[in-house]
Homo-oligomer: A and B are copies of this chain.
Amino acid sequence: MPNQSVDLVVAGTIGLDDVTTPFGAVTATLGGSASYAAIAASYFARPGVVSIAGTDWPSEQRRELTERGIDLAGVTVSGQTFRWQGVYEFDMNEATTLRTELNALADFAPTVPSNYREATVLLLANLDPSLQALVARALPQTFKILDTMNFWISSQRAALIEAIRLVDVLVLNEAEARQLCDEVNLVKAARELRSLGPTYVMIKQGEHGALLFGHETCFTAPGYPLEALKDPTGAGDSFAGAVAGFLATQPGRDEPTLRRAVIYGSTLASFCTEAFSVERTIHLTEADIEERYDAFKTLSQF
């Protein structure tokens, strides 16, 4: 029986995370950039995932994804699942990585199932940039969004720049934008990043919100003032996932559409930080999402 077609493809990691924050700790919880991003995207459109998980990947975690309508035909199962252990200190700004076990990820050779060929949007969630480029080339018809992190900027700069050249939207955080361009001024950094190819650059600023740079334009999305911040893990992935999911439902790629995408991204990111792992984002309703989207409007109105 052929699989149902998907609206967007999310390529990234699936992992088991051990996370400690000032508000608690969890062990072997569902993690990875593709997990967070696909769940966020699933509130808008039907995602298909390109990733790898081990034979030890709990069936309950797999079921959590499929029950959200996420297609896992592109998930290879082999070896042991990627593991990450991190701890957040009092200020919750950045995780300290205690342990990384690549496991199955070390041998990941992405394959794109045939039912993913009609997707209109591709999210290259945080992943080795050579693999991001490989998937980008396999889905040439898509509108492409690439998310990355400091680790790849340090270790695979050339491959990352090569991958960035292939995409329409680059997503990264402000420290990463500065690091990648060796430029402290974000307006200048965004211009430089856009000159590599992407039409839009989205700069995530954690609790301070996000910036969207287009051609000589800038949009500032507020941070949502959270009282219940518990665990920031996956917030950036959720942001990118919601951006991709929302765009898969929209005919246009103009700036007003991208601005709304950034607010949906910020909405899912804010929910993500309210609980550990995907506990909060897996159980949202459309009403939750629309209510917070509206709260972003109220927050910034003058």
Interface residues of chain A, those whose CB is within 8 Å of chain B, are 90-92, 184-188, 205, 207-209, 211, 218-223, 225-227, 229, 256, 259-260, 262-263, 296-297, 299-302
Task: Classify the secondary structure of A's interface with B.
Answer: mixed
Chain B residues, Cβ within 8 Å of A211: 225
Question: Could you say which of B184, B225, B262 contacts A92, with CB atoms under 8 Å apart?
Answer: B184
Question: Could you say which of B218, B222, B302 contacts A263, with CB atoms under 8 Å apart?
Answer: B302
Given contacts A90-B184, A208-B208, A208-B209, contact A299 B218 (CB under 8 A): yes
Q: Are A220 and B226 in contact (CB under 8 A)?
A: no
Chain B residues, Cβ within 8 Å of A259: 301-302
Q: Are B302 and A256 in contact (CB under 8 A)?
A: yes
Q: Are A227 and B187 in contact (CB under 8 A)?
A: yes
Q: CA–CA, A60 to B185, complex, Å?
A: 34
Question: Could you say which of B188, B222, B301 contacts A222, with CB atoms under 8 Å apart?
Answer: B222
Q: CA–CA, A223 to B299, complex, Å?
A: 14
Q: Are A302 and B187 in contact (CB under 8 A)?
A: no
Q: List 22 A-B contacts (CB under 8 A).
A: A185-B226, A185-B227, A185-B229, A187-B226, A187-B227, A188-B227, A205-B208, A208-B209, A209-B222, A211-B225, A218-B299, A219-B299, A219-B300, A219-B301, A219-B302, A220-B222, A220-B299, A220-B300, A221-B302, A260-B302, A296-B302, A297-B302
Chain B residue, CB-CB nearest to A89: B184
Chain B residues, Cβ within 8 Å of A219: 299-302
Chain B residue, CB-CB nearest to A227: B187
Question: Could you say which of B186, B218, B225 contacts A187, with CB atoms under 8 Å apart?
Answer: B225
